[in-house]
């Protein structure tokens, strides 16, 4: 079946590893339906795996689900990979979706460091629930949301749960610029190519420091 490929383990979606599979079962223990399991997995990844922008490195191991569990922190793509991996482990078809976005609320010092206000290759999960694909971003944990005065993303298992365009005060929050599509596995080479091209100045600063 077409959905079977979204239930496979891989180098990145590594729920064939005991600790990953056990974590998925632990989080969803006692839950019967996919919707309930998806909600539980979302909130665990959102808040138990802290968001850390500085954890982004262009090494393959950075994106592995097992490494995100071990570290206890990650960035948008790695947290999306983790959520999708845990979902697959309990039988929920899952994939990742990449896009370019602007977070209008990030500090100017970060914009200056990146030499752009665009976050290229932002990642979130897609879970197949109730006969449809649902978009879900577990990126920002509660503390990160409070610290940045962002809008907390909640998930009900039925509707898309992405960053909102405006915050509660009517200020611009997240703007989605370019949809890069869905992937059944991490497109590592593509990610590296885009990052090396779009963040040349930032990478040069990092190498000099």
**Whether the Cβ atoms of residue 105 and residue 170 lie closer than 8 Å to each other:** no
Q: Per-residue pLDDT averaged across 51-58, rounded?
A: 77
Is CATH 3.30.420.280 the right assignment for the domain spanning 2-208?
Answer: no
Query: Is the four-CA dihedral 2, 183, 162, 99 of positive or negative sign?
Result: negative
Q: Which of helix, strand or coil describes residue 1?
A: coil
Q: Per-residue pLDDT averaged across 52-74, rounded?
A: 89
pLDDT-based confidence at 180, cuts 50/70/90? very high
User: How many helices and strands in the chain, by DSSP H and E?
Assistant: 8, 6
Residues 65-104 pLDDT 10s? 999 999 999 999 999 999 999 999 999 999 999 999 999 9
pLDDT of residue 57: 72
Query: Is the four-CA dihedral 78, 159, 153, 20 of positive or negative sign?
Result: negative
What does the alpha-carbon distance between residue 101 and residue 53 come to, in Å, rounded to a whole number? 15
Q: Per-residue pLDDT averaged across 51-60, rounded?
A: 80
Residue 209 has pLDDT above 70, yes or no: no
Burial of 28-58, coded b for 16+ CB within 10 Å and e otherwise, reads beeeeebbebbbbbbbbbbbebbbbeebbee
Residue 121's H or E segment, with its range, is strand 118-129
pLDDT-based confidence at 207, cuts 50/70/90? low
Residues 100-149 pLDDT 10s? 999 999 999 988 888 899 999 999 999 999 999 999 999 999 999 999 99
């Amino acid at each position: 079946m077409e959905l079977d490929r979204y239930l496979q383990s891989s180098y990145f979606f590594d729920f064939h590893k005991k600790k990953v599979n056990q974590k998925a079962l632990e989080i969803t223990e006692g839950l019967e339906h996919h919707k309930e399991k998806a909600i539980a997995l979302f909130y665990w990844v959102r808040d138990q795996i802290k968001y850390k922008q500085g954890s982004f490195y262009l090494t393959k191991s950075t994106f592995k689900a097992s490494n995100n569990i071990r570290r206890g922190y990650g960035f948008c793509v790695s947290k999306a990979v983790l959520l999708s991996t845990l979902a697959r482990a309990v039988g929920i078809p899952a994939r990742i979706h990449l896009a370019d976005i602007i977070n209008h609320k990030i500090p100017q010092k970060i914009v200056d460091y990146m030499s752009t206000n665009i976050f290229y290759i932002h990642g979130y999960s897609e879970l197949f629930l109730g006969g449809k694909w649902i978009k879900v971003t577990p990126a920002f944990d509660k503390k990160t949301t409070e610290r940045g005065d962002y809008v907390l993303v909640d998930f009900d298992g039925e509707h898309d749960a992405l960053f909102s365009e405006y915050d509660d005060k009517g200020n611009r929050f997240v703007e989605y610029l370019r949809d890069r599509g869905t992937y059944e596995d991490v497109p590592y080479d593509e990610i590296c190519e885009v990052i090396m091209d779009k963040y040349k100045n930032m990478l040069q600063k990092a190498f000099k420091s």
